[in-house]
Structure 1
Amino acid sequence: MFLLPQPRADVEAPHAPVVDLVEDSETIEALLRICYPIKNPALDQPLNAIETMLRAAMKYEMEFPITVLTDHILSLAERTPLPVWAIACRLHLEHVARHAAQQLRVVTSLDFNSLGGMDGICAGDYYRLREFHRMPTPLGTQIAFLSPADTHSAEIDHSSREWSPVPFPDDQPPTLICRSSDGVEFGVHKDVLCAISSKFSDDIGALELTSDVADDTARDAQTTAQESKLPVLCVNARAALLAPFLRFCYPRMATPSLYDLHTITDVLCLAQMYNADTVAREVERFWEPEAKADPLCAYCVAVTRGLRERAQDAAKDSLGKSLDGVYLPELEDTPALAYHRLLAYHTSCRAAVTGLLERRFPPGDAAPLRPPLQLQVLPRKFLRHLPQNRSQPVLQPPRCPLVDISMEDSGPLPRRNG
């Protein structure tokens, strides 16, 4: 080929198109070396670097690099099964997750602490691996590691809850329109909202300045419609949440009905966002009985909304029930680290109560609690005996740091298809 006529050296080569990529040069170079018919790069980098390469290969649909990198990760599962499982969760690689889980069969206990923050892993993934590890092998083979067994039961849609129009007092005409994020408008009264919320007061004040300019324009256009004179305040909440929130703002109105923990929590978050303390206190009355009836659900919902104190209370309430084999669709939206901390909290509290009972009934006594204690559920009457020593914060349920977590602590959860 070198005998073929070559282009003149002084001829400027045409400019090649430039594509900007977000990946670093090392990642792109490794992928291109796999693609080209040259010696592949040495895949002796740390697992997190291999994961970055595989993520980029999947993003750009590079089939051959995907195969090479996936095979390499599978080969590491025997030595580092738990980190490989974590990568499979983040990249949604079902067969890799299954292979890593099978390698974990020989492990006596799962050391999830080695995964650190468990970024990008949801509590549902954690639950399925834990169940696979504690179940007999014939049953374990039926588990889908990265998706719920019943995909329909895992779909939670609280956006389509029915709500009734708000019959606000009609003795005074409305002075403001509150528009929800889905376009529903509510006629309300400025004075009521300003008295309830300092943030509403600030927002309405800023809105009135804008409305003055709009009114001047409307007068110039000889607009006389009554509707044009009402300022519109846009609220970042769906009508199904804004309607009960506004009802709480009117003390003479009947208390609205809140449907479930999700609705209650969302209205509570809305009240906190607008510094409406009176509304928040009213909504919390609905929270408490629902949370005690389903503390695991309450814990998950509180964690995903960043309600730390509510999560701590729910963690304490959950001590009365074993978490083994308990699945909720809410686990799919809860960070794995939060679920891990809840399980560790249960283990620590069981150990504390077991130690308390064994000291109360030493082995030499004719105690009724024999064979040796293996508590799976903590009776409520024992909870008050948990140590209150400040040096043992794990045993203080109301202030337990094990549930001090929000969505930001563990990174974004992966988007799942199907």
Structure 2
Amino acid sequence: MDSVSSFDRPDRDVVLLSSDQVKFGCHKSVLSIASPFFSDMFSLPQNLSSSAQPSDDGSTEPDGTPIIPMTEVSKTLDTLLRLIYPVELPTLEDPYHVAEVLSAARKYLIIPASNCLTTLSRSFDTFLTNSPLPAFAVACLCNMQDEVAKAADHILAAKALRGNVLNAHLATLSDTHVDLFMKKGSSASFYRLRHNLSVRANASDRTQEAPTSSLVTEVAVPIAEYRASLAGPIMQSSASLFNRIPPDVVLYTRHDVPLRAHKLMLIGSSPVLASMLDTSTETAADGAAILRLPESAELLRHVLHFCYGSMTSIVCPESSDVDARLLVDMVHIAEKYAMDKILDAMKMLLRTFIVSDPLQTYYAAVLCGWEDIAREAARCSLAIRDPDFTYVTLMEECPASAHAAFVRYYATCKQVLTEARRKRYSRGGGASSFDPDYNFILSGTHTRAEGRPALESGVLLRKTLRALPEEHVKIAEGIYEREINKLKDAYAYARSSSSMLAAPIKYPQPTSLLLNESFQMDLDMHTALDKVELEFVSTILTQP
């Protein structure tokens, strides 16, 4: 039963119905004056406004007054209408509520100079000035691009706050709005804020090209050409099976695209689909059972490929790349229909990208809830230059907490490696004769999608990174390089001394501890990193 709002005057000539089914009796003339959107709507010829008879479809009241469904909840509509009508003004204490009403006002083109928009803007600007980070969080959640940019300006101006945001040290800054943003906002939004602050603070771009023109989350568009290459018919290589044994099930997809399959294959692949088939009473003209599923034809086509034993339908045959968003969708549909074999196949497939595309793999693992893969991918991402300032498309889908946790993990890795190095070379009461800087391991020359920018839109890349040596090899190479340089200097000095004294050259000898130094440092590094990774993934995957 519909609730009744305070807008229930008997002389109303239009009813606005909120998304939670509360009716607001309004006046077309008042709404038209406040909003060109409503003015244009009411000026159009339509049965809804001209009918004086009640309808059975819920489009009019019993007295024939037209009902207009709205997407806003009743609380938002009530505040908006109170600011439009000459009635008692509502209280504007909750910034999130103010942002929701302000977004609705802009959506319905409320006149900018009106008291409604002025009051809302002034209220939110006060909150933005006093609490820029919570204001940024609210503005992102409400998709308010102008306010997001203003909040970023205020955060940039506050040096301590800017540092905490860049390092994702939000514990002391957290409030209700920031916590909500960490759960419901996107990693991409938080990344863009950090990237924006870093670029403007340092006056130079530190990272690869990324969508930084906007600080508001934008949903990525899949690569049409890439997906088209995967959209072949089911069991194309074994089409004779469908000729010998006619399919006896028709799956109708989200847009009523029919996909034919065999009942036994579906029953063997999914107990959920088996139960649905047992209770289905709808049949096609040829007697085939009909199932109506809410998923897209593209996704269900891949599911059927797996049901028939094709484990590579989502893998691009030319490059072996995989659409990351498609893989995540496959995992979610497999979980929904209890298709364990598909889950195992997707997990095995994602593991193959841990080294070649660790960042995209990390965010994919977070979306799939696979802690072990997320941990391994985060560890491998240390081989990428500035991974905490590197964009991947799946950030658009992940909660902001995933990016914040990764940033803190990366910062902690740098810290513990520096500490391990300090301890190693402070033993024995002094520094080693050669004291290499092991932080170079965390600032490698590799970048994601190097040489292949056209595939940046959400594809797990198979060959993006050159073959990376193991950490102990990189450490050994670093020590060798520094030792060789030291020997070169010593050799030059020996030659000059010998020429001055007319004596034989005493060639310098390399240290006998070279290999032991390399592998011991490798052990220290791995021990230190192992202590970091045990904590960071759980902070992402255990969130409600």
Taking structure 1 as the reference length, the TM-score comes to: 0.71
How far 1:127 moved relative to its partner? 1.6
Within a 5 Å distance, the mapping from 1:258-337 to structure 2 comes to 258-259=315-316, 260=322, 261-304=324-367, 310-321=373-384, 322-337=386-401
The structure with the largest alpha-carbon Rg is: 2
Letter of the 2:382 counterpart: L
Deviation sequence 1:29-82 (CA, Å, 0-9, x none)? 6973686499x7786x35345435534544554443223322343344443221
C-alpha separation in 2, matches of 1:395 and 1:254? 32
- Range with greater deviation from structure 2 (372-381 or 266-275): 372-381
How far 1:371 moved relative to its partner? 6.1
C-alpha separation in 2, matches of 1:53 and 1:247? 47
How far 1:404 moved relative to its partner? 0.9
Please point out which of 236, 242, 247 is paired with 1:174: 247
How far 1:236 moved relative to its partner? 3.7
Paired residue secondary structure (1:181): coil
C-alpha separation in 2, matches of 1:54 and 1:377? 44
Matched, 1:156 2:222: yes
Partner of 1:385: 527
Contact 1:123 1:334 in 2 (8 A): yes
Partner of 1:5: none
How far 1:189 moved relative to its partner? 2.5
Partner of 2:159: 107
How large is the RMSD of aligned CA atoms in angstroms? Answer: 3.9
Partner of 1:91: 142
Partner of 1:228: 286
C-alpha separation in 1, matches of 2:393 and 2:401? 17
Unpaired runs of 5+ residues, structure 2, are 1-8, 17-22, 25-72, 206-210, 317-321, 445-469, 473-521
Identity of paired residues, percent? 20
Please point out which of 10, 15, 22 is paired with 1:15: 10
Partner of 1:47: 95
Contact 2:369 2:541 in 1 (8 A): no
Within a 5 Å distance, the mapping from 1:6-85 to structure 2 comes to 15-17=10-12, 20=23, 22-24=73-75, 28=78, 32=82, 36=86, 45-55=93-103, 57-58=105-106, 61-62=109-110, 63=112, 64=114, 65-85=116-136
Contact 1:89 1:120 in 2 (8 A): no
Partner of 1:413: none
How far 1:129 moved relative to its partner? 1.5
Please point out which of 313, 317, 320 is paired with 1:256: 313
Note closer, same or farther for the CA distance 1:289–1:15 as it changes in structure 2 (3 Å cut): same
Letter of the 1:194 counterpart: I
How far 1:134 moved relative to its partner? 1.6
How far 1:289 moved relative to its partner? 1.8
Deviation sequence 1:202-248 (CA, Å, 0-9, x none)? 222223xx26xx6xxxxxxxxxxx95222123344333333333232
Note closer, same or farther for the CA distance 1:285–1:46 as it changes in structure 2 (3 Å cut): closer
Matched, 1:116 2:179: yes
Higher relative contact order (CA 8 A, sep 6+): 1
Note closer, same or farther for the CA distance 1:87–1:248 as it changes in structure 2 (3 Å cut): closer
Note closer, same or farther for the CA distance 1:36–1:396 as it changes in structure 2 (3 Å cut): same
Partner of 1:223: none
Paired residue secondary structure (1:293): coil
C-alpha separation in 1, matches of 2:258 and 2:94? 55
C-alpha separation in 2, matches of 1:59 and 1:166? 44
Contact 2:382 2:442 in 1 (8 A): no
Contact 2:414 2:439 in 1 (8 A): no
Contact 1:175 1:190 in 2 (8 A): yes
Letter of the 1:404 counterpart: L
How far 1:188 moved relative to its partner? 2.8
Contact 1:386 1:396 in 2 (8 A): no
Aligned residues, how many? 366
Matched, 1:240 2:298: yes
Contact 1:312 1:403 in 2 (8 A): no
C-alpha separation in 2, matches of 1:33 and 1:273? 45
Contact 2:185 2:399 in 1 (8 A): yes
Note closer, same or farther for the CA distance 1:254–1:310 as it changes in structure 2 (3 Å cut): closer
Contact 2:417 2:529 in 1 (8 A): no
Letter of the 1:123 counterpart: S
C-alpha separation in 1, matches of 2:441 and 2:542? 27
Letter of the 1:292 counterpart: V
C-alpha separation in 1, matches of 2:436 and 2:124? 48
Partner of 1:218: none
Note closer, same or farther for the CA distance 1:146–1:372 as it changes in structure 2 (3 Å cut): same
Contact 2:375 2:533 in 1 (8 A): no
C-alpha separation in 1, matches of 2:129 and 2:84? 24
C-alpha separation in 1, matches of 2:364 and 2:228? 17
